[in-house]
Amino acid sequence: PPGIGNTNIQATVALSDDLAPGALITNVVQIQGNETDSDPGDNSFVSVLPVVEVSEPDIALFKTVTSSPPRPGGAIAYRLRVINQGAFRLENVVLTDTLPAGVSLRESFHTTCFAPPDCVDNGFSPTIDQGQLVWQLGEIEVRGYGDFYLTVDVPLTVTAGSVLTNTAAISTDAG
């Protein structure tokens, strides 16, 4: 029946290589039906967007603690998310996580979608040296991402109220 339901339509367009930064792209969407419309004034939408130049790499690293506050003899769970937010593929990407002093790695696993929509579970093993985990990730396509999960054990010798610092970094040949 008329007026019931939703429909989503998505379109992807390729822009001409000769569009200069600052050029405006106008997109017009219109809809009509066989029935008489009581408000034809809301049947179109115009969007104007400027062409922007993206010439810098943009890789992001987010880190969260996914467990409750640690206690002596307990565990801390971390999630690291790597995302290529730039406009081109990144190469020789390296993820490094330096664990807090005194903790020991219990487990590590991950899911990567570095060439979306293809995803892989546990496709990379980190090297571990003196509390530092290093993943050689290689290439990450535009909008590619990975989620890395770590669980570490907190020694019984840690006193309540101690600050445990965990540092992560991401690097690539692109900068």
CB 139 within 8 A of CB 62: no
pLDDT for the residue 83:
95
What one-letter code names the amino acid at 17? D
pLDDT for the residue 32:
78
175 residues of the chain, pLDDT tens digit each: 455 555 566 666 777 767 777 788 888 888 777 888 888 877 787 888 777 665 678 899 999 998 888 889 999 999 999 999 888 899 999 999 999 988 999 999 999 999 988 899 988 889 999 899 999 999 999 999 999 999 999 999 988 888 889 999 999 986 5
Spatial CA neighbour of 137 closest among 170, 175, 97, 98 = 170
The alpha-carbon radius of gyration of the chain (Å, integer) is 24
Per-residue H/E/C for the chain: CCCCCCCCCCCCCCCCCCCCCCCEEEEEEECCCCCCCCCHHHCEEEEEEECCCCCCCCEEEEEEECCCCCCCCCEEEEEEEEEECCCCCEEEEEEEEECCCCCEEEEEEEEEEEECCEEEECCCCCEEECCEEEEEEEEECCCCEEEEEEEEECCCCCCCCCCCCCEEEEECCCC
Tokens for 171?
């690097």
pLDDT for the residue 51:
73
